[in-house]
A = this chain, B = another copy of it.
Amino acid sequence: MKMNLYQDRANGMSLKNITVTDQFWKRYRNLVKKQMIPYQWSVMNDNANIKITKEREDNRIPSEKSHAVANFLIAAGRQKGNHYGYVFQDTDVYKWLEAVAYTLKYAPDEDLQEVADQLIDLIADTQETDGYLVTYFMIEAPERKFKRLKQSHELYSMGHYIEAGVAYYEVTGNTKALSIARRMADCIDENFGPEEGKIHGYDGHPEIELALAKLYEATNEKRYLDLAQYFIIQRGKDPQFFDRQIEADGKDRDIIAGMEAFPLSYYQADKPVFDQEAAEGHAVRVVYLCTGMAHVARLTHNKKVLAACRRLWDNIVRKRMYITGGIGSTPIGESFTYDYDLPNDTMYCETCASVAMAFFARRMLENEPKGEYADILEKELFNSTISGVSLDGEHFFYVNPLEVSIEASRRDPGKSHVMYERQNWFGCACCPPNLARLIASIDQYIYTLDDEKQTIYAHQFIANRAQFDNDISIEQSSHFPWEGHIKFTIENPQRKHFKFAVRIPYWSAHHYTLHHSGGEISPESKNGFIYFDIHQEQFEIELNLDMRVHEIQANNRVKHDLDKVAIQRGPIVYCMEEADNPAPLSLYRIPNKPEFKYTYKPDLLEGVGTIEVEAERLEADPLDGPLYRDYRTYEWKPAHIHFIPYYAWINRQPGEMQVWVRKQL
C-alpha cells in the first residue's frame, strides 16, 4: 500500500522523492517556513500582539484570543481554566502541525521538530483512554460527547488530527503521532457504524472521511477504510438523524448559536450523496466531502461513489465557480446558491474552500487522468488560494472578493464580510493554517502515477527534481507562471519502458509548441495530456505554452459578468487595483481590439508579471450632477489600465479592486 507522501497506488513505479526548485513556489514555501509557521504558533499560544477579526458581524464569535494551545493544556490537566473559542478550535493546532510536518521535509529544523514533538506529547496526554479528543467537550461538556453531531465538529476535529498525525509520522517517523491518530479512529469506529448499538450517523462537517482514507493508506487497517465508506454512504440516508439527536440533547442548547437556521442541505445531509445532483450548502463541507469520496472511490473501486464525485465536480466547475477558482456565492452559510449565480462583490469565496478544491482535484486526478482536474488545481494554486495570504505571510483573507470598494465594505452591511485588507487572524481561524499546509505540501500535487498503465503524469508546471523507482528521474525546469518555456529532462538509466504524460493546460490547448528528443514519432494527445513513450536512457521535452494575454468571457447566463472580460495570462487571473488606476474602476473599458503589453517586474510585489493596455474611461459624473437624466451617448476618454495578478492584490495601499472589466462590444 502507500509508501510515502506522494503516491498511493503505484508499487512498481512509485515516486520516491521530489524537490521543488521552482522560484515562485520556493518563495511561498519559505514564507510558510519562516513567517507563517512561527507567526501562527505565536498566535495560537496567544503570544502575538494582534487584533483578531470576526469573519462576520456577530457578537457571538469568540475573537478575544486564540487560546487554541491553552485548550489542550487545560484538557490535559496541566493548566486550570475554561475552554475558549469555537468547538473546533483544536483544528487550528492540527492544521499547523500538519503544515510543520511538510516543511520539515523541505526545510529540516531540529528546533521546530522539538516544538512539534512536544506538541504531540501534549496531544497524547490530552487524549482520553478510549481515544477521544475534543478539548471543548472534555473541558465543558463531557456528557454531550457525540450527542449533537450536527454542530459538534467532533469527527471533523479528530479528522484534522488524523491528517496531521499521518503526515508527521510519514515525514519524521514519530510513531506516537500515528498512534494518537489510530486511537482516535478506533474510538470513532467503536462508536459509529452500521452495527447495532453504534451511532448510525455522521458529523455535520465532513472531514473524517478523507482523514480515515489517509490513515488507511498509512496503516493498511481496513476498518478505517470501511468506516470512511460508511460515513459517505450513510450521509443523508436518514434525514431525521440530526433532529433526533438535538431533541434528545435539548433543543435550546445550541453549541454554535445560529446554526439551526441552516437547512439540512447546508450539511449535505438532506439526501444520500448519490442523489445530490448539485453542490448545495456550505462550500467547504461539500468539497471536503467530495475529497473524501474521491479518495475512498479509488481505494474501494466504488464506481457509484466516483460517479457522485464527477457529478458534483461538474456542477461546481461548470456552473458555480468564479474565474479565480473561488466558490461559495453567498456569505450566508458560506454557501453555494444556484447555477450561474456569481456576484463579484457579495460572494464568499472562502480561502478554505479553494484549498479544498485543490484537495478534491488531486484526488480526482488519482482516479482518472483528465486534464480538467489539473487545470482547476492549477487555477486554485495560482489564484484564490494564495490570494488568502499577504506577501509578508502574516495577513490573511477569509473571503476572496472579485470586486471591492472600501465604502461598500464599510457602509453596506451586506458586504461587511468583504475585507479590503488582509487581517491578522480570525475568530474562526480555519483559513491561515489550511493554506499553510497546502503550500507546504505542494510537492504532492505535481505528479500522479498509474501503475497498470506504467504512466507518470505531470500535472503542474512547478519546477522540480523527482526520483522514481527504477532509477528514473525527471527534472522540470521553468520560470512559470511568468514564462511558458517548460523543459523536462528524463533520466532512465535502466532503459525502462514507460509513458510520460504532460498536461497541456486549457488556456494553451490551441497554441503551444513541442520539441522532444524522441525523433519523428508524434506523441498521442488525449483528455488534456500528451503521452510520450519513453524507453531511451535520456529524453528531453521542451514545451512552449501560450503566454499571450487572454480576454475571458463568462457564460452569458452569469449576468454579473455580462459585457465584461477578465484578463488572464497562463493560469494567472489579473485584476485592476486603485493603487495603479484612478478610481472608480467601474468606469474603464477595454477596447474592441486591445493591445496588451506584458512586463515582468522583479521589484514589484516580490516579482510579478504586469499587463498594461491602452483603454478608455468615462469621466465620473459630477457629485452635484443629477442622479437620473435623459440618455446621452457616453464620451470615452483615452485611459491606461494597469493589471496585476489577482493573488497579489492589496499588498500596497487599500482601495478599489476589480477582476471583471467592461468591454467595448
Contacts and interface: CB of A to CB of B under 8 A. Distances in A.
A141 interface: no
Interface string A577-613: 0000000101100000000000000000000000000
Given A346-B346, A413-B330, A629 B559 contact: no
Interface in A365-424: 407-408, 411-414
A665 B584 CA distance: 19
Contacts of A333: 413
Contact of A553 (B338, B553, B566, B631): B631
Contact of A555 (B335, B412, B628): B628
Given A346-B346, A346-B414, A620-B557, A628 B562 contact: no
A588 B563 CA distance: 12
Interface string A25-62: 00000000000000000000000000000000101000
Interface string A546-565: 00001111111111001101
Interface residues of A, number: 61
A292 B628 CA distance: 28
Contacts of A631: 550-553, 565, 663
A59 B627 CA distance: 38
Contact of A319 (B337, B558, B584, B627): B627
Contacts of A563: 563, 662
A411 B338 contact: yes
A209 interface: no
Contacts of A414: 330-332, 346, 414
A332 to B, nearest CB: 4
Contacts of A565: 631
A136 to B, nearest CB: 24
A627 B411 CA distance: 32
A632 interface: yes
Given A330-B412, A556-B618, A557-B620, A562 B550 contact: no
A584 B555 contact: no
A135 interface: no
Interface in A302-332: 317-319, 321, 323, 329-332
A633 B57 CA distance: 42
A216 B478 CA distance: 83
A448 B57 CA distance: 47
A341 interface: yes
B337 A628 contact: no
Interface of A: 57, 59, 261, 317-319, 321, 323, 329-333, 335, 337-339, 341, 346, 407-408, 411-414, 550-559, 562-563, 565-566, 584, 586-587, 618, 620-621, 623-634, 662-665
Contact of A318 (B551, B552, B626, B664): B626
Specify how many copies of this chain sit in the oligomer: 2
Contacts of A329: 412
Contact of A629 (B319, B552, B584, B628): B552
B341 A629 contact: no
**Most B-side CB within 10 Å, residue of A323, A632, A665:** A665
Contacts of A261: 57, 59
Nearest to A403: B559
Given A346-B414, A627-B558, A665 B338 contact: no
B337 A555 contact: no
A566 B631 CA distance: 9
Query: Secondary structure at chain A's binding surface: helix, strand, loop or mixed?
Result: loop
Nearest to A558: B627
B318 A627 contact: yes
Given A341-B408, A555-B628, 4 more contacts: A319-B627, A553-B628, A557-B621, A664-B665
25 contacts: A57-B261, A318-B626, A323-B628, A329-B412, A332-B414, A335-B413, A337-B413, A338-B408, A341-B408, A341-B411, A552-B628, A552-B629, A553-B629, A553-B630, A553-B632, A554-B628, A555-B628, A556-B587, A556-B621, A557-B584, A557-B621, A557-B623, A559-B584, A562-B587, A664-B665
A587 B628 CA distance: 23
A329 B586 CA distance: 19
A350 to B, nearest CB: 16
Given A330-B414, A338-B411, A414-B346, A317 B627 contact: yes
Contacts of A630: 550-553
Nearest to A658: B559
B319 A413 contact: no
A332 B346 CA distance: 14
A462 B413 CA distance: 40
B413 A621 contact: no
Nearest to A408: B341
Contacts of A584: 557, 559
A632 B553 CA distance: 8
Contacts of A338: 407-408, 411-412
A664 B623 CA distance: 25
A626 B411 CA distance: 36
A586 B627 CA distance: 23
A566 B318 CA distance: 33
A560 B159 CA distance: 44
Nearest to A507: B630
Contacts of A662: 562-563
Nearest to A314: B624
A335 B665 CA distance: 36
A327 to B, nearest CB: 12
**Most B-side CB within 10 Å, residue of A550, A553, A629:** A553
Closest 10 CB pairs of A and B: A332-B413, A551-B631, A559-B586, A338-B411, A553-B631, A337-B412, A555-B621, A556-B621, A552-B628, A555-B627
Contact of A665 (B337, B562, B665): B665
A332 B621 CA distance: 29
Contacts of A633: 665
Contacts of A413: 330, 332-333, 335, 337
Contacts of A620: 556-557
A97 to B, nearest CB: 35
